A and B are shown apart, each in its own frame.
Chain A
Amino acid sequence: DGGITQSPKYLFRKEGQNVTLSCEQNLNHDAMYWYRQDPGQGLRLIYYSQIVNDFQKGDIAEGYSVSREKKESFPLTVTSAQKNPTAFYLCASSEDRSSYEQYFGPGTRLTVT
């Protein structure tokens, strides 16, 4: 089945540690996105990538980093510089930079204590 996978579903880390969230897609999509969602709120864009080896900051990129070395993979690193890292993280992809439909993964719930 084609789709987006995020792993793990739940992740626990100690404060001060960097953590990398996985996002893989087998839809052959060019564009990929990372969003953050806090309880009771909408999604906020962290980073997005329109093509391999290229990515742009979204609205809340501080404390996060990404890479796009392969078309199917777009990992997100939550660094120790991110002041409030506990959140629900969602990865999405779309066919290309002008596609109207984004496909979302199941999300990773990160808890930092």
Chain B
Amino acid sequence: DAKTTQPTSMDCAEGRAANLPCNHSTISGNEYVYWYRQIHSQGPQYIIHGLKNNETNEMASLIITEDRKSSTLILPHATLRDTAVYYCIVSPRSNDYKLSFGAGTTVTVRA
């Protein structure tokens, strides 16, 4: 599976958009980009995923560059409850489906 690189931490102001970058320069054609988040001492929560096109749901937007070597998760209006570790994961959608969680980005939303 392709590896991902994320900043260790970032701060965000409450009510502003939070833009979380992820590099995945070795991504292959059949690999999807997934984002999960983990609030302290809880289980991770699925946010969004994509292959080539930009995606949006009620939680966030995912922007994938044309060459697919990087992506950005956008939380449009960050709240204090969005403080969490955010994981960017690249994995093929296959019969041997597994997720590999790295260290992620610790996002702190400040009032």
A residues neighboring B (CB under 8 Å): 4, 31, 33, 35, 40-45, 48, 50, 58, 88, 90, 92, 94, 97-107, 109
Q: Contact at A98–B98, with CB atoms within 8 Å?
A: no
A-B contact pairs, 25 of them (CB 8 A): A4-B43, A33-B98, A42-B87, A42-B101, A42-B102, A42-B104, A43-B44, A43-B99, A44-B101, A45-B99, A48-B98, A58-B98, A88-B41, A90-B43, A94-B97, A97-B95, A100-B32, A102-B44, A102-B46, A103-B46, A104-B44, A106-B42, A107-B41, A107-B43, A109-B41
Known: A35-B101, A99-B97, A100-B32. A106 touches B87 (CB 8 A): no
The CA of A40 and the CA of B8, in the complex, are separated in Å by: 11
Sorting the interface of chain B by its residue count into under 10, 10 to 19, 20 to 34 or 35 or more gives 20 to 34
Q: Contact at A98–B44, with CB atoms within 8 Å?
A: no
Report A88 CB to chain B, min CB distance, Å.
Answer: 8
Does B65 reach chain A (CB closer than 8 Å)?
no
B94 proximity list for chain A (CB < 8 A): 98
Does B93 reach chain A (CB closer than 8 Å)?
yes
The CA of A43 and the CA of B41, in the complex, are separated in Å by: 13
Does B80 reach chain A (CB closer than 8 Å)?
no
A41 proximity list for chain B (CB < 8 A): 103
Q: Contact at B101–A43, with CB atoms within 8 Å?
A: yes
Known: A42-B87, A105-B43, A106-B43. A100 touches B34 (CB 8 A): yes
Kindly supply a per-residue 1/0 record for chain B positions 99-111, scoring 1 wherever the CB is within 8 Å of any chain A CB and 0 otherwise. 1111110000000
B104 proximity list for chain A (CB < 8 A): 42
